[in-house]
A and B are shown apart, each in its own frame.
Chain A
């Protein structure tokens, strides 16, 4: 390498002589975070779009209260004339749908609360209040962890504990392989759960930093960026909850 030249001096003064730089008035971190969220939106669009297409393409006789998913006999009208047939499990229909909407609605409320506490955390440090930042971050971590705990509990009861009727699953347990509905449910909520877990991990890092007093009124972009991510994860959940549980 033939650069014997000394390390150059700070070129910042150059800007006074030449034309001004063309960059927009945001930080690189924020641009990158928005781009990252855009890629995440496309990823979840892939999953949600798949769900919509698969559900629309599911035949009217895929689910029934008397037979396992996709194992409904061709002559069902003769064999079991009173069987109800669906193209997709309906909400609150215990014959085909094992999901507890009440529990998850409460969980959704908790996640929305965590977004509120995240807003309070950012607002606190924007005013320079380090103690409130720590407190609200702690609350956010708590809400996020609670959400994850409920999701783990939900998965556990679905996959291992409860015995469900035939219309839900041929095996009695609700696992990803028992039906298309189960595949979609576990993939979508599972990837969202992984994002929440990542968010909680980052929030814990923020919390530890804030306990050390790292963030100040002028120096807290990590709080803002991770806050953006957290709100995104919350927003995705509202869509997923609507699409997977409610409709």
Chain B
């Protein structure tokens, strides 16, 4: 009854919902393509263009975050040696012989973490692939709210500018880590980076958060409302399922971070007392009335940021599931358990935040419950890993560069997942808390996991995005070098972490037990590997940029996959996505169906009768 354009913002409200038998499709009208390049490529409402905008800005920030990491590694391997190239950028370091000032190390890891998490991994996974893939995979012409989608991208540039500005304000970039714990973060006088830059950091994250919120509301609504005829929930590709559950996580967890960011911002600019202790003075700064609880920030922050680590891995899991099934030419092993496992991880993700705070002075009894719930996450994670292995088992594996990245996602996720269980156990955590062990863990999950998934997904969907194929030999070379250098960089961190090497320390040699050639030798080896890792990405960058302009033209379905974006439209798709909204007959994993001519059955093609019965039931 109330299906008006005015409120829906757009006429894409589902045309078929009201009755299949009288095709009143006026709601499904197709807008003419914008001709003005400003609206075609910049302020576009087309989900594909917005997805590619997120992709490019994410990759640009990936370079920024990577360079920050290189600087961190330089300092760790050769503490207080003049940093190469920096003379040109840092004239103020001249008096110090171009040595890095100690607080600069804190700025580096703070900004490395913030940039990589809030401007690379989350925007790439949910912004780029969420936008690009959801409408194409469920058979919709666009998102439910294309304008809201445009705004969700254009809330990112203010966030990026605020974050970049944080480098330039007096005192330099923030120094309180990407977790931004008070009391370091909420007093102007605690460190140079807290003088002004911390405020910009908070503003930046507020903008990025609003962008994510708009995106996730849009994704959920789109998936609920705009699925093509026949696209039942349990016929959706795993990618869509993962993005759907991720969007729910984001919608429910992120507002809490927003409230925490607002409170820290008010603490800094309006003199409120949420996170400052009673009668608190720092470094001869002005006294505050205080009375608040610094620990409260940690609870609020991790209430978002633990679900956020699943926001950063679940979309990767979904995409890897699709990629592995496609290149194994086998149905995904255990489709429904995979969905429930993702939902289980997401659900448990809300009740485990305290495992970040075992050593914070939190009540140990509370820590025990967090330990238990955290360890329960191993169950759905193991279901996923075994199902990926089950999918590959006995398949006709095609080792394309995309598949290699996807397989290494599975392998690295196992290592990252296992080291996570170490941390989850409170007694073990006492030893490895705040050491390089946790740094190894987070990078095995976020680089070994999410970033390999991003590489796999970029190569896999590149033909759909740009209509051209990426170069396979270069892709394999990039994969091989990345894989080797990645492990060379991060695996050794487990070892020095067990040895007690603290994280977030500019100069490990201040400690006697870290001064030896063992630790420092490993540090130097890791740094060389990290430089190799950074240089290997040049191959990817070249392959990516060259292929956009000069790669071989891609057919509509180069990988012989089943889901709608491959079988129902061109590469790249027209702005209206589908000439006809396709009809879906089964889940997208019908590979190697016995008795069929091809080894894949597109979702738009009904299964032959006897097979249809058995396969659909199984799915």
Which residues on A are within 8 Å of B, measured CB to CB? Answer: 1-3, 5, 7-8, 10-25, 27-29, 31-32, 35-36, 38-47, 50, 53-54, 57-59, 62, 68-71, 170, 175-180, 182-184, 186-187, 191, 214, 218-222, 224-225
Contacts and interface: CB of A to CB of B under 8 A. Distances in A.
B289 A69 contact: yes
B259 A20 contact: no
Contacts of B221: 28, 31-32, 35
Contact of B259 (A47, A69, A179): A47
B355 to A, nearest CB: 19
A187 B17 contact: no
Given A18-B229, A183-B292, A186-B272, A27 B7 contact: yes
B289 A170 contact: yes
B583 A14 contact: yes
B581 interface: yes
Contacts of A224: 2, 7
Given A19-B230, A23-B227, A71-B279, A28 B574 contact: no
Interface string B1-26: 11110111100111111001101111
B534 to A, nearest CB: 35
B7 A5 contact: no
B17 A219 contact: no
Contact of B4 (A40, A170, A184, A221): A221
B256 interface: yes
Given A183-B266, A186-B272, 13 more contacts: A1-B575, A8-B579, A14-B23, A17-B583, A19-B230, A22-B227, A32-B145, A38-B251, A45-B256, A71-B289, A177-B272, A183-B292, A221-B8
A42 B303 CA distance: 11
Contacts of B229: 14-15, 18-22
A21 B20 contact: yes
B220 A35 contact: yes
B255 A39 contact: yes
A60 to B, nearest CB: 13
A2 B573 CA distance: 9
Given A11-B581, A28-B13, A31-B225, A180 B273 contact: yes
B465 interface: no
Enumerate the 8 nearest inter-chain pairs by beta-carbon distance, A residue then B residue, closest first.
Answer: A12-B25, A46-B259, A177-B271, A18-B583, A3-B574, A183-B272, A12-B23, A42-B255
A231 B389 CA distance: 50
A43 B296 CA distance: 15
B274 A13 contact: no
A125 to B, nearest CB: 10
Given A7-B32, A46-B255, A219-B6, A21 B228 contact: yes
A70 B7 contact: no
A46 B302 CA distance: 12
Interface in B247-261: 251-256, 258-260
B278 A62 contact: yes
Contacts of B145: 28, 32
A36 B252 contact: no
Given A39-B252, A43-B259, A224-B2, A179 B24 contact: no
Nearest to B1: A218
Contact of A177 (B225, B288, B585): B288
Contact of B258 (A12, A13, A43): A43
